Structure 1
Protein backbone atom coordinates (compact mmCIF):
# COMPACT_ATOMS: atom_id res chain seq x y z
CA UNK A 1 0.00 0.00 0.00
CA UNK A 2 1.48 3.32 -1.07
CA UNK A 3 -0.27 5.26 1.73
CA UNK A 4 -0.47 2.52 4.33
CA UNK A 5 -0.32 5.02 7.18
CA UNK A 6 -3.41 6.81 5.84
CA UNK A 7 -7.06 5.77 5.87
CA UNK A 8 -9.92 5.74 3.36
CA UNK A 9 -13.48 5.99 4.69
CA UNK A 10 -16.49 5.15 2.54
CA UNK A 11 -19.81 6.52 3.80
CA UNK A 12 -22.84 4.45 2.79
CA UNK A 13 -26.45 3.90 3.79
CA UNK A 14 -27.79 0.38 3.89
CA UNK A 15 -29.87 -0.27 0.71
CA UNK A 16 -33.31 0.10 2.29
CA UNK A 17 -36.10 0.77 -0.21
CA UNK A 18 -37.63 4.19 0.36
CA UNK A 19 -34.66 5.35 2.45
CA UNK A 20 -31.97 5.75 -0.24
CA UNK A 21 -31.76 7.64 -3.53
CA UNK A 22 -35.17 9.18 -2.85
CA UNK A 23 -34.82 11.70 -5.70
CA UNK A 24 -34.74 8.74 -8.11
CA UNK A 25 -37.98 7.21 -6.81
CA UNK A 26 -40.31 9.12 -9.19
CA UNK A 27 -38.44 7.56 -12.13
CA UNK A 28 -37.49 4.15 -10.74
CA UNK A 29 -39.71 3.39 -7.76
CA UNK A 30 -38.33 2.75 -4.28
CA UNK A 31 -37.00 -0.73 -5.08
CA UNK A 32 -35.34 0.46 -8.28
CA UNK A 33 -33.68 3.35 -6.44
CA UNK A 34 -32.39 0.96 -3.78
CA UNK A 35 -31.01 -1.31 -6.51
CA UNK A 36 -29.10 1.60 -8.08
CA UNK A 37 -27.80 2.59 -4.65
CA UNK A 38 -26.62 -0.97 -4.03
CA UNK A 39 -24.74 -0.99 -7.33
CA UNK A 40 -23.03 2.32 -6.46
CA UNK A 41 -21.95 1.04 -3.04
CA UNK A 42 -20.47 -2.15 -4.50
CA UNK A 43 -18.65 -0.21 -7.22
CA UNK A 44 -17.20 2.28 -4.73
CA UNK A 45 -16.03 -0.37 -2.28
CA UNK A 46 -14.48 -2.33 -5.16
CA UNK A 47 -12.67 0.77 -6.44
CA UNK A 48 -11.12 1.74 -3.10
CA UNK A 49 -10.27 -1.84 -2.16
CA UNK A 50 -8.65 -2.67 -5.47
CA UNK A 51 -6.69 0.59 -5.48
CA UNK A 52 -4.65 -0.86 -2.58
CA UNK A 53 -3.66 2.66 -1.52
CA UNK A 54 -4.62 2.59 2.17
CA UNK A 55 -6.70 0.61 4.67
CA UNK A 56 -10.43 0.97 4.02
CA UNK A 57 -13.28 1.52 6.48
CA UNK A 58 -16.93 1.29 5.47
CA UNK A 59 -19.10 3.56 7.63
CA UNK A 60 -22.73 2.50 7.38
CA UNK A 61 -26.10 3.83 8.54
CA UNK A 62 -28.41 3.18 10.25
CA UNK A 63 -26.67 0.03 11.56
CA UNK A 64 -24.28 -2.71 10.49
CA UNK A 65 -26.74 -5.59 10.64
CA UNK A 66 -27.84 -5.98 7.04
CA UNK A 67 -27.24 -9.01 4.77
CA UNK A 68 -25.93 -6.73 2.00
CA UNK A 69 -23.08 -5.48 4.18
CA UNK A 70 -22.28 -8.94 5.45
CA UNK A 71 -22.03 -10.30 1.89
CA UNK A 72 -19.92 -7.36 0.77
CA UNK A 73 -17.45 -8.03 3.54
CA UNK A 74 -16.95 -11.57 2.22
CA UNK A 75 -15.51 -10.19 -1.03
CA UNK A 76 -13.58 -7.10 0.07
CA UNK A 77 -11.30 -6.32 2.97
CA UNK A 78 -12.56 -3.42 5.06
CA UNK A 79 -13.34 -2.52 8.63
CA UNK A 80 -17.03 -1.94 9.33
CA UNK A 81 -18.17 0.98 11.48
CA UNK A 82 -21.48 2.72 12.17
CA UNK A 83 -22.02 6.41 11.49
CA UNK A 84 -22.88 8.58 14.50
CA UNK A 85 -24.29 12.11 14.50
CA UNK A 86 -27.43 14.12 13.88
CA UNK A 87 -26.46 15.36 10.41
CA UNK A 88 -23.88 14.60 7.74
CA UNK A 89 -21.41 17.10 9.17
CA UNK A 90 -21.50 15.51 12.62
CA UNK A 91 -21.19 12.03 11.14
CA UNK A 92 -18.16 12.99 9.03
CA UNK A 93 -16.53 14.78 11.95
CA UNK A 94 -17.01 11.71 14.14
CA UNK A 95 -15.47 9.42 11.52
CA UNK A 96 -12.46 11.71 11.03
CA UNK A 97 -11.87 11.91 14.78
CA UNK A 98 -11.70 8.12 14.93
CA UNK A 99 -9.45 7.75 11.87
CA UNK A 100 -7.09 10.60 12.74
CA UNK A 101 -6.58 9.27 16.25
CA UNK A 102 -4.11 6.76 14.79
CA UNK A 103 -3.42 8.01 11.24
CA UNK A 104 -1.70 11.20 10.04
CA UNK A 105 -4.28 11.80 7.32
CA UNK A 106 -7.47 10.30 5.94
CA UNK A 107 -9.86 10.55 3.00
CA UNK A 108 -13.64 10.26 3.11
CA UNK A 109 -15.88 9.63 0.12
CA UNK A 110 -19.52 8.78 -0.41
CA UNK A 111 -20.91 6.23 -2.85
CA UNK A 112 -22.63 8.58 -5.31
CA UNK A 113 -19.67 9.30 -7.60
CA UNK A 114 -18.94 6.45 -10.05
CA UNK A 115 -16.11 8.39 -11.71
CA UNK A 116 -13.86 8.37 -8.62
CA UNK A 117 -10.94 6.06 -9.40
CA UNK A 118 -7.59 5.07 -7.92
CA UNK A 119 -5.83 7.96 -9.66
CA UNK A 120 -8.19 10.50 -8.11
CA UNK A 121 -7.68 9.00 -4.65
CA UNK A 122 -3.91 9.05 -5.14
CA UNK A 123 -4.01 12.72 -6.12
CA UNK A 124 -5.87 13.48 -2.89
CA UNK A 125 -3.36 11.54 -0.78
CA UNK A 126 -0.47 13.30 -2.54
CA UNK A 127 -1.94 16.69 -1.55
CA UNK A 128 -2.12 15.65 2.11
CA UNK A 129 1.34 14.06 2.08
CA UNK A 130 2.76 17.30 0.69
CA UNK A 131 1.51 19.12 3.81
CA UNK A 132 -1.88 20.66 3.01
CA UNK A 133 -4.38 20.66 5.87
CA UNK A 134 -7.21 19.48 3.62
CA UNK A 135 -8.15 18.41 0.12
CA UNK A 136 -11.55 18.47 -1.56
CA UNK A 137 -13.01 16.89 -4.65
CA UNK A 138 -15.76 19.34 -5.64
CA UNK A 139 -18.99 18.06 -7.15
CA UNK A 140 -20.51 19.67 -10.21
CA UNK A 141 -23.71 20.34 -8.24
CA UNK A 142 -21.96 22.50 -5.62
CA UNK A 143 -21.15 19.87 -3.02
CA UNK A 144 -18.11 17.64 -2.88
CA UNK A 145 -17.43 13.99 -3.59
CA UNK A 146 -14.25 13.69 -1.50
CA UNK A 147 -12.74 15.37 1.52
CA UNK A 148 -9.36 14.63 3.08
CA UNK A 149 -7.87 15.98 6.29
CA UNK A 150 -4.56 15.87 8.10
CA UNK A 151 -4.40 15.21 11.83
CA UNK A 152 -4.66 18.48 13.76
CA UNK A 153 -6.72 20.26 11.09
CA UNK A 154 -9.96 21.89 12.14
CA UNK A 155 -13.07 20.01 11.06
CA UNK A 156 -14.82 22.28 8.50
CA UNK A 157 -18.27 20.74 8.90
CA UNK A 158 -20.24 23.27 10.97
CA UNK A 159 -22.66 25.86 9.56
CA UNK A 160 -22.98 24.00 6.25
CA UNK A 161 -26.33 23.50 4.50
CA UNK A 162 -25.95 19.81 3.68
CA UNK A 163 -27.78 18.73 0.55
CA UNK A 164 -27.80 22.23 -0.93
CA UNK A 165 -25.81 23.58 -3.85
CA UNK A 166 -23.83 25.80 -1.46
CA UNK A 167 -21.89 23.12 0.42
CA UNK A 168 -18.50 23.68 -1.25
CA UNK A 169 -18.91 27.46 -1.22
CA UNK A 170 -19.72 27.48 2.49
CA UNK A 171 -16.89 25.06 3.23
CA UNK A 172 -14.41 27.35 1.45
CA UNK A 173 -15.61 30.21 3.64
CA UNK A 174 -15.02 28.13 6.77
CA UNK A 175 -11.58 27.10 5.54
CA UNK A 176 -10.56 30.72 4.90
CA UNK A 177 -11.81 31.77 8.33
CA UNK A 178 -9.79 29.02 10.00
CA UNK A 179 -6.60 29.93 8.13
CA UNK A 180 -6.15 26.38 6.88
CA UNK A 181 -4.39 25.51 3.64
CA UNK A 182 -6.36 23.36 1.23
CA UNK A 183 -6.36 22.27 -2.39
CA UNK A 184 -9.14 21.19 -4.70
CA UNK A 185 -9.08 18.44 -7.29
CA UNK A 186 -11.00 18.58 -10.56
CA UNK A 187 -14.80 18.62 -10.12
CA UNK A 188 -16.67 15.36 -10.66
CA UNK A 189 -20.37 14.55 -10.99
CA UNK A 190 -22.49 12.41 -8.73
CA UNK A 191 -25.70 10.44 -9.09
CA UNK A 192 -28.78 12.21 -7.75
CA UNK A 193 -31.32 12.26 -10.58
CA UNK A 194 -32.37 10.02 -13.48
CA UNK A 195 -30.24 12.01 -15.93
CA UNK A 196 -27.24 11.07 -13.77
CA UNK A 197 -28.18 7.40 -13.96
CA UNK A 198 -28.20 7.64 -17.75
CA UNK A 199 -24.78 9.26 -17.60
CA UNK A 200 -23.54 6.48 -15.31
CA UNK A 201 -24.79 3.79 -17.68
CA UNK A 202 -22.72 5.28 -20.48
CA UNK A 203 -19.65 4.42 -18.39
CA UNK A 204 -20.57 0.71 -18.24
Structure 2
Protein backbone atom coordinates (compact mmCIF):
# COMPACT_ATOMS: atom_id res chain seq x y z
CA UNK A 1 0.00 0.00 0.00
CA UNK A 2 1.18 3.59 -0.60
CA UNK A 3 2.87 5.26 2.35
CA UNK A 4 0.02 7.77 2.66
CA UNK A 5 -2.73 5.13 2.79
CA UNK A 6 -5.17 6.45 5.41
CA UNK A 7 -6.20 4.56 8.51
CA UNK A 8 -9.93 3.85 8.63
CA UNK A 9 -11.73 4.04 11.97
CA UNK A 10 -15.16 2.41 12.34
CA UNK A 11 -17.48 3.38 15.22
CA UNK A 12 -19.80 0.64 16.46
CA UNK A 13 -22.04 -0.04 19.42
CA UNK A 14 -22.42 -3.55 20.75
CA UNK A 15 -25.69 -5.10 19.46
CA UNK A 16 -27.56 -4.98 22.78
CA UNK A 17 -31.34 -5.29 22.71
CA UNK A 18 -32.95 -2.01 23.70
CA UNK A 19 -29.73 -0.05 23.20
CA UNK A 20 -28.84 -0.51 19.52
CA UNK A 21 -30.95 0.65 16.58
CA UNK A 22 -33.88 1.37 18.87
CA UNK A 23 -35.78 3.21 16.12
CA UNK A 24 -36.08 -0.13 14.31
CA UNK A 25 -37.88 -1.67 17.31
CA UNK A 26 -41.43 -0.94 16.04
CA UNK A 27 -40.65 -3.00 12.94
CA UNK A 28 -38.30 -5.69 14.26
CA UNK A 29 -38.69 -5.78 18.04
CA UNK A 30 -35.83 -5.03 20.44
CA UNK A 31 -33.95 -8.28 19.76
CA UNK A 32 -34.53 -8.01 16.03
CA UNK A 33 -33.23 -4.45 16.00
CA UNK A 34 -30.09 -5.57 17.82
CA UNK A 35 -29.60 -8.38 15.31
CA UNK A 36 -30.08 -5.91 12.46
CA UNK A 37 -27.38 -3.72 14.00
CA UNK A 38 -25.02 -6.69 14.23
CA UNK A 39 -25.62 -7.44 10.54
CA UNK A 40 -24.84 -3.83 9.60
CA UNK A 41 -21.62 -3.80 11.62
CA UNK A 42 -20.46 -7.06 10.02
CA UNK A 43 -21.28 -5.71 6.55
CA UNK A 44 -19.40 -2.49 7.31
CA UNK A 45 -16.25 -4.30 8.46
CA UNK A 46 -16.34 -6.65 5.46
CA UNK A 47 -16.63 -3.69 3.07
CA UNK A 48 -13.81 -1.86 4.80
CA UNK A 49 -11.52 -4.88 4.50
CA UNK A 50 -12.19 -5.10 0.77
CA UNK A 51 -10.92 -1.54 0.41
CA UNK A 52 -8.00 -1.45 2.86
CA UNK A 53 -5.71 -3.92 4.65
CA UNK A 54 -6.99 -4.99 8.07
CA UNK A 55 -3.90 -3.42 9.61
CA UNK A 56 -5.23 -0.04 8.48
CA UNK A 57 -8.64 -0.53 10.13
CA UNK A 58 -9.68 -0.05 13.76
CA UNK A 59 -13.13 -0.89 15.10
CA UNK A 60 -13.95 1.42 18.00
CA UNK A 61 -16.41 -0.29 20.34
CA UNK A 62 -19.13 1.06 22.63
CA UNK A 63 -21.68 -0.17 25.21
CA UNK A 64 -19.92 -3.53 25.78
CA UNK A 65 -16.32 -3.65 24.62
CA UNK A 66 -16.11 -7.42 25.15
CA UNK A 67 -19.25 -8.34 23.22
CA UNK A 68 -18.75 -11.57 21.22
CA UNK A 69 -19.48 -9.77 17.94
CA UNK A 70 -16.34 -7.68 18.29
CA UNK A 71 -14.19 -10.69 19.02
CA UNK A 72 -15.64 -12.53 16.03
CA UNK A 73 -14.91 -9.59 13.72
CA UNK A 74 -11.36 -9.37 15.01
CA UNK A 75 -10.84 -13.10 14.45
CA UNK A 76 -12.49 -13.18 11.01
CA UNK A 77 -11.03 -10.03 9.50
CA UNK A 78 -8.01 -9.17 11.63
CA UNK A 79 -9.13 -5.61 12.35
CA UNK A 80 -7.89 -3.90 15.49
CA UNK A 81 -10.25 -3.18 18.38
CA UNK A 82 -10.26 -0.15 20.66
CA UNK A 83 -12.82 1.23 23.16
CA UNK A 84 -14.50 4.49 22.25
CA UNK A 85 -13.73 7.25 24.77
CA UNK A 86 -16.32 9.24 26.66
CA UNK A 87 -17.72 12.40 25.11
CA UNK A 88 -20.07 13.43 22.33
CA UNK A 89 -19.82 12.16 18.78
CA UNK A 90 -17.48 14.95 17.77
CA UNK A 91 -15.12 14.12 20.64
CA UNK A 92 -15.07 10.47 19.64
CA UNK A 93 -14.53 11.18 15.93
CA UNK A 94 -11.71 13.58 16.69
CA UNK A 95 -10.08 11.12 19.12
CA UNK A 96 -10.12 8.37 16.48
CA UNK A 97 -8.73 10.63 13.75
CA UNK A 98 -5.88 11.72 16.02
CA UNK A 99 -5.09 8.29 17.47
CA UNK A 100 -2.20 7.85 15.04
CA UNK A 101 -0.10 10.00 12.74
CA UNK A 102 -0.97 10.48 9.10
CA UNK A 103 -4.23 10.68 7.13
CA UNK A 104 -7.28 9.03 8.65
CA UNK A 105 -10.98 8.52 8.01
CA UNK A 106 -13.87 7.80 10.39
CA UNK A 107 -17.18 6.24 9.44
CA UNK A 108 -20.19 4.83 11.22
CA UNK A 109 -21.11 1.17 11.03
CA UNK A 110 -24.75 1.61 9.98
CA UNK A 111 -24.26 3.02 6.49
CA UNK A 112 -24.42 0.12 3.99
CA UNK A 113 -24.47 2.58 1.09
CA UNK A 114 -20.74 3.18 1.70
CA UNK A 115 -19.33 0.48 -0.55
CA UNK A 116 -15.74 -0.72 -0.66
CA UNK A 117 -15.30 1.17 -3.94
CA UNK A 118 -16.52 4.36 -2.27
CA UNK A 119 -14.09 3.87 0.62
CA UNK A 120 -11.29 3.50 -1.94
CA UNK A 121 -12.44 6.69 -3.68
CA UNK A 122 -12.43 8.58 -0.38
CA UNK A 123 -8.91 7.36 0.38
CA UNK A 124 -7.75 8.55 -3.03
CA UNK A 125 -9.49 11.93 -2.67
CA UNK A 126 -7.89 12.46 0.73
CA UNK A 127 -4.46 12.35 -0.91
CA UNK A 128 -5.26 15.62 -2.73
CA UNK A 129 -7.68 17.34 -0.31
CA UNK A 130 -7.55 18.57 3.28
CA UNK A 131 -10.87 16.93 4.07
CA UNK A 132 -13.01 14.23 2.47
CA UNK A 133 -16.64 13.81 3.49
CA UNK A 134 -19.64 11.73 2.45
CA UNK A 135 -22.80 13.79 3.04
CA UNK A 136 -25.81 11.79 4.23
CA UNK A 137 -29.39 12.20 3.07
CA UNK A 138 -30.54 12.88 6.66
CA UNK A 139 -28.35 15.97 7.05
CA UNK A 140 -25.39 14.28 8.70
CA UNK A 141 -22.43 12.55 7.14
CA UNK A 142 -21.37 8.94 6.81
CA UNK A 143 -17.60 9.40 6.61
CA UNK A 144 -15.06 12.14 7.25
CA UNK A 145 -11.33 12.09 6.66
CA UNK A 146 -8.52 14.52 7.46
CA UNK A 147 -4.74 14.76 7.36
CA UNK A 148 -4.30 16.47 10.72
CA UNK A 149 -6.24 17.86 13.64
CA UNK A 150 -8.82 20.56 12.89
CA UNK A 151 -10.59 21.10 16.25
CA UNK A 152 -13.06 23.57 14.74
CA UNK A 153 -14.62 20.85 12.58
CA UNK A 154 -16.10 19.17 15.64
CA UNK A 155 -16.80 21.95 18.12
CA UNK A 156 -20.34 23.22 18.82
CA UNK A 157 -21.86 21.00 16.11
CA UNK A 158 -25.55 20.09 16.73
CA UNK A 159 -24.92 16.34 16.86
CA UNK A 160 -27.96 14.17 16.28
CA UNK A 161 -29.74 16.86 14.25
CA UNK A 162 -30.25 17.40 10.53
CA UNK A 163 -27.87 20.37 10.69
CA UNK A 164 -24.65 18.43 11.28
CA UNK A 165 -23.62 18.47 7.62
CA UNK A 166 -24.40 22.13 6.99
CA UNK A 167 -22.65 23.23 10.20
CA UNK A 168 -19.57 21.17 9.37
CA UNK A 169 -19.41 22.46 5.80
CA UNK A 170 -19.56 26.02 7.17
CA UNK A 171 -16.59 25.18 9.40
CA UNK A 172 -14.67 23.73 6.45
CA UNK A 173 -15.21 26.94 4.49
CA UNK A 174 -14.35 29.16 7.47
CA UNK A 175 -11.10 27.27 8.01
CA UNK A 176 -10.21 27.65 4.34
CA UNK A 177 -9.89 23.90 3.82
CA UNK A 178 -10.04 22.18 0.44
CA UNK A 179 -12.72 19.47 0.69
CA UNK A 180 -14.03 16.67 -1.50
CA UNK A 181 -17.57 15.27 -1.34
CA UNK A 182 -17.44 12.15 -3.58
CA UNK A 183 -21.04 10.95 -3.02
CA UNK A 184 -24.18 11.31 -0.93
CA UNK A 185 -24.99 8.27 1.20
CA UNK A 186 -27.73 7.05 3.52
CA UNK A 187 -27.71 5.13 6.77
CA UNK A 188 -30.12 2.78 8.49
CA UNK A 189 -31.99 4.47 11.32
CA UNK A 190 -35.70 4.10 10.64
CA UNK A 191 -37.86 1.15 9.57
CA UNK A 192 -38.06 2.47 6.00
CA UNK A 193 -34.25 2.57 5.88
CA UNK A 194 -34.05 -1.08 6.89
CA UNK A 195 -36.63 -2.00 4.26
CA UNK A 196 -34.62 -0.07 1.67
CA UNK A 197 -31.51 -2.04 2.60
CA UNK A 198 -33.38 -5.35 2.46
CA UNK A 199 -34.73 -4.51 -1.00
CA UNK A 200 -31.22 -3.74 -2.25
CA UNK A 201 -29.85 -7.01 -0.83
CA UNK A 202 -32.61 -9.06 -2.43
CA UNK A 203 -32.00 -7.48 -5.84
CA UNK A 204 -28.34 -8.46 -6.10
Shorter-chain TM-score above 0.5? yes
**SS of equivalent residue, structure 1 residue 196:** helix
Aligned counterpart, 1:134: 131
Backbone CA RMSD of aligned residues: 1.6
Q: Is the 8 A contact 2:51 2:116 kept in 1?
A: yes
Aligned counterpart, 1:26: 26
Q: Is the 8 A contact 2:138 2:162 kept in 1?
A: yes
CA 1:133–1:154 in structure 2 vs 1: closer, same or farther (change >3 Å)? farther
- Between the two proteins, the alignment pairs up a number of residues equal to 200
Write the distance in 1 (CA, Å) between the matches of 2:30 and 2:161. 22
Aligned counterpart, 2:13: 13
Name stretches of at least 5 consecutive residues in structure 1 with no aligned partner.
none
Q: Is the 8 A contact 1:93 1:155 kept in 2?
A: no
**SS of equivalent residue, structure 1 residue 161:** coil
Q: Is the 8 A contact 1:62 1:82 kept in 2?
A: no
**SS of equivalent residue, structure 2 residue 143:** strand
Matches within 5 A, 1:1-204: 1=1, 5-52=5-52, 55-99=56-100, 102=101, 104-130=102-128, 132-154=129-151, 156-204=153-201
**Alignment deviations for residues 32-91 of structure 1 (CA, whole Å, 9 cap, x no partner):** 110100000000001111223571100011342111211221101111011113211111
**Alignment deviations for residues 142-179 of structure 1 (CA, whole Å, 9 cap, x no partner):** 10001001125445111111111111001011112222
Name stretches of at least 5 consecutive residues in structure 2 with no aligned partner.
none
**SS of equivalent residue, structure 2 residue 36:** helix
CA 1:133–1:4 in structure 2 vs 1: closer, same or farther (change >3 Å)? closer
CA 1:176–1:122 in structure 2 vs 1: closer, same or farther (change >3 Å)? same
Write the distance in 2 (CA, Å) between the matches of 1:145 and 1:108. 8
Range that drifts further, 81-90 or 174-183: 174-183
Write the distance in 1 (CA, Å) between the matches of 2:149 and 2:13. 28
Q: Is the 8 A contact 1:49 1:77 kept in 2?
A: no
User: TM-score by structure 2 length?
Assistant: 0.92
